[in-house]
């Protein structure tokens, strides 16, 4: 554009839009790179030998299906592919491509074909989610993400999607797309009955994917019998317990133990389950309680836990309070002249203050002498002229 203006081919008053120039060059095929030109990127063909050494996963946009509300929505095909055998551990259509739709398909693939050593996927939001990373960590699966804008690394998965578009989608009827369940039944019938039984040109001796997978099926790591997959695939969310001993999750308020008020807890739940089933509450790596939704009406009649002011007949009597030892007054307080010389001044009891006053004015010779105390006379004023109490309280 700059050169064209310098050569005078374009008037200076003409404004050239970059988007217009780019569109015209693309239409003429001048913006595409020549594949025969050498590239500085190091790309190499790879293939694993044993089954379940590497699974690939991706999502493909599929046809529209009818929902329960009578509205047609687009379906997304979530698929897995074994790199060594080209076998499909499991695949299914879903109404979204988020983590909540992806993990159930992943769980079914593990139940049917065992645990993979590696899971190779792209950088979509569902593959970058914390929930998928937690599941892979619990099951000992290495989660590998492809480089951004490098689809060549998942060429086998893309090739299988092309097979689905060419051999499966054109055969669908209105009955197959009447519901999501009908579409998935038709899909799995095609995968097990046709795709897995057809010789694959990418395999040795034109074996079928099922035959190739069976050659190393004895090396497949199946889930241990003590492993609870339902527990491993639970979602986790961090929450802080409010003062009313509740936590909020996906618009539902759950009630937890009062000892957790103000603390951060981990909620483990199944997003597909109804809220009435409750959630698991964990704190410091320990299971605390199975929380249920708050019943606000029932709480109107629940007695609150608080400290009682009534005597408990079954409880042990408290120890009596320590009395005032008047014989130790000399050691504890000392004479007024010594206050502040040996340390900070201590608070003085009214009885002690009155006796010190009498000693200073000669009305009492010994602080430890016996006396008769009358509490109602403590507040009588002191006669400053004579230094005596009115009336004498001792």
Predicted confidence at residue 375, as pLDDT, reads 52
Number of other CB atoms surrounding residue 193 within 10 Å: 10
Q: How many residues does the chain have?
A: 394
Mean pLDDT of the chain: 81
Say whether pLDDT at 311 is over 70: no
- Assign 363 a pLDDT band (cuts: 50, 70, 90): low
Predicted confidence at residue 305, as pLDDT, reads 67
Predicted confidence at residue 343, as pLDDT, reads 46
In order of their start, the domains of the chain are 55-219 (3.30.420.10), 234-301 (2.40.50), 326-389 (no CATH)
Say whether pLDDT at 45 is over 90: no
43 vs 171, which has greater pLDDT?
171
What's the pTM? 0.66
9 vs 351, which has greater pLDDT?
9
Predicted confidence at residue 4, as pLDDT, reads 75
Place of tokens 């005078």: 8
Spatial distance between the Cα atoms of 265 and 384, rounded to a whole number of angstroms: 67
Whole-angstrom CA distances from 271 to 25, 83, 109, 252, 264 are: 49, 31, 19, 12, 21
In the predicted model, what is the mean pLDDT of residues 58-64? 93
Mapped onto helix, strand or coil, the DSSP state of residue 286 is strand
Residue 234, C-beta contacts closer than 8 angstroms, at least 6 positions apart: 268, 269, 270, 280
Predicted confidence at residue 19, as pLDDT, reads 83
Rg (CA), the chain: 41
Say whether pLDDT at 154 is over 50: yes
Say whether pLDDT at 390 is over 80: no
Residue 29, sorted as left (phi over 0), alpha (psi -120 to 50) or beta, turns out to be left
H-assigned helices in the chain: 2-6, 18-27, 99-113, 130-139, 155-163, 180-190, 209-215, 229-232, 329-332, 350-360
Spatial distance between the Cα atoms of 319 and 314, rounded to a whole number of angstroms: 15
229 vs 351, which has greater pLDDT?
229
- Assign 139 a pLDDT band (cuts: 50, 70, 90): very high
Whether the CB-CB separation of 125 and 101 falls below 8 Å is answered with no
């Amino acid at each position: 554009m700059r050169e064209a203006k310098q050569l005078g081919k374009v008037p200076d008053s003409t404004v050239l839009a970059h988007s217009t120039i780019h569109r015209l060059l693309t239409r003429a095929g001048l913006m595409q790179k020549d594949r025969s030109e050498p590239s500085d990127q190091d790309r190499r063909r790879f293939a694993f030998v044993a089954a379940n050494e590497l699974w690939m996963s991706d999502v493909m946009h599929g046809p529209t299906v009818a929902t329960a509300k009578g509205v047609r929505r687009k379906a997304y095909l979530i698929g897995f592919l074994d790199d060594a055998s080209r076998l499909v551990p499991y695949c299914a259509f879903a109404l979204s491509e988020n983590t909540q739709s992806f993990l159930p398909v992943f769980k079914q693939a593990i139940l049917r074909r065992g645990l993979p050593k590696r899971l190779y996927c792209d950088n979509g939001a569902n593959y970058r989610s914390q929930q998928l990373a937690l599941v892979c960590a619990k099951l000992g699966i290495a989660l590998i993400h492809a480089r951004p804008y490098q689809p060549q690394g998942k060429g086998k998965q893309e090739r299988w999607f092309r097979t689905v578009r060419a051999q499966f989608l054109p055969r669908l009827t209105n009955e197959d797309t009447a519901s999501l369940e009908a579409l998935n039944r038709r899909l799995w019938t095609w995968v097990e009955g046709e795709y897995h039984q057809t010789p694959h040109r990418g395999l040795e001796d034109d074996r079928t994917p099922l035959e190739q997978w069976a050659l190393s099926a004895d090396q497949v790591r199946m889930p241990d019998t003590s492993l609870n997959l339902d527990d491993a695939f639970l979602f986790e969310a961090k929450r802080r317990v409010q003062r009313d001993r509740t936590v909020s999750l996906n618009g539902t308020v759950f009630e937890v133990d009062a000892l957790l008020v103000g603390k951060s807890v981990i909620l483990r739940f199944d997003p597909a389950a109804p809220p009435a089933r409750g959630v698991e509450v964990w704190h410091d790596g320990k299971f605390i309680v199975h929380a249920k939704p708050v019943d606000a009406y029932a709480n109107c009649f629940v007695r609150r836990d608080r400290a009682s002011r009534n005597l408990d007949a079954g409880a042990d009597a408290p120890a009596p309070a320590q009395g005032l030892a008047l014989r130790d007054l000399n050691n504890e307080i000392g004479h007024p002249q010594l206050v502040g010389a040996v340390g900070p001044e201590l608070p003085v009891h009214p009885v002690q203050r009155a006796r010190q006053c009498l000693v200073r004015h000669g009305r009492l010779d010994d602080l430890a002498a016996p006396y008769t105390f009358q509490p109602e006379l403590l507040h009588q004023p002191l006669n400053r002229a004579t230094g005596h109490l009115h009336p004498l309280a001792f």
